Structure 1
Amino acid sequence: MTIYSWEGEDLWEHSLLAAEAGRCLFPEEVELYNKKVSQLAGVDADWWTLTALLHDVGKAHRAFQKPPYKSFRCHEFYSAAFAYRALARYGYAAHVVALAVVLHHHAMERVHRCLNTAPFDPVEELPEYVSKVSYKVGIKLDKWSHIAVRDVLKNISNPKIYKTALIAVLPLVIGDNLAAYKRDQVVARVVAETMREHTSRLIKCVYSKLVSCGSCVGSPA
């Protein structure tokens, strides 16, 4: 059974495309993020791809996986809680990934509404998804165990953690939005404003490698 990130959109495909888009558009940031998180974890790995593959994992919440697959309120908090627990063996690296994930999607706008949200209740297909993630990036993820969203946010407030997580936020936001463009053909304002300064890079990554995004920038010659 498919885990949906939106109506007709597979979570794995969406997340992988977001990872590829972010890396293509922001290679220096992704390299720096991987270096810093690897140092924290004591494991040299592709932490960027891992972060992208977990950014929407909270959408596997059982209540979300029902038609029409368009209501995922507070999913970023579930995603962060999952990352925090699943990566606990890697110490502060788990904190960084969780914070980058929670910041990717309106988090600061609705934190007060999501602090006491119902516990993450994942569908049965989540372990298969997690196995694919682990195999893809070569990082062992532990089984999910419950932790309150409020407790996760308390534990990931270290300033050093915040600075490292911020490196991944822009690539993740842009990559996520460009991956979503494939389904709804709408360019988010953050994409349009950010990419005005990176038109040539956007054309290279989007037109030649990822998705046809004619309204992101002017059509290439």
Structure 2
Amino acid sequence: MDGIQPTPDASELPVLDISTLSTFKFERVLSEMIWPATETLIKKYTAQERVMVRETEEAFKRIVVPYIESFDANKLDWLYAIIQGKKEVERVLYRDEDTNEGFLIVPDLKWDQTSMNALYLTVIVKTDTIRCLRDLTTAHLPMLRNVRAKVFETVQAKFGVAKNKLRLFVHYHPSYYHFHVHVVHIYHEALAGMMAGQAHLLDDLISLLELSPSPPEKSILARMTLTYALGVEHPLYACFLKAGEEFV
């Protein structure tokens, strides 16, 4: 294929943080490389059988919470370095320094920052008290509304993309258990992470919280049954099997 440059030898590539995604753009091919790749990452990107899981509130407490708590907190050091302004400072598009409701907006490493139709940003909250969407309560509504407003404002100002061209969503289960929001252009090519069950629109989460009782009562998100596809190589799948859970 003419115009394609030879792939660089691995020995010539920089050692990347595990959170880093390198993109090599050729004339006709856009390839992505994560290096070094852990066993978890290899399993994540390996073609595998998937099953539908119906996760009740009880299953979340009994199976998922211990799974989340089993993670080594040090594995998120790369993330906290970004939050604390120790890394990737120049890439941050917006930063709110409030300890409890603050957040930052950064371009996702999957976006080359040239094609607006492929726009992909990530919003990372500063607080470490929200692991996933089930932890959200009515107390978080001001922060979530502010995230939505600042994303619209920042993207319009920096990239000229109107708010009605943006899709904001949250993954369940996420790649890492520190609350973050994905922002993509509505013309972005379909990604596996946008599938029903895994992607939950931020607007929908806000609406469900607006219908929820205030703490100490549990929110709808904490009480509802969540249904999603889970790969058989995903570590959580083994946890469900061990607990004797039946799949849909």
Do they superpose with TM above 0.5?
no
Higher strand content, 1 or 2: 2
Rg larger in structure: 2
Question: 1 or 2 for the larger relative contact order (CA 8 Å, sep ≥6)?
Answer: 1
Higher helix content, 1 or 2: 1
Q: TM-score, normalised by structure 2?
A: 0.27
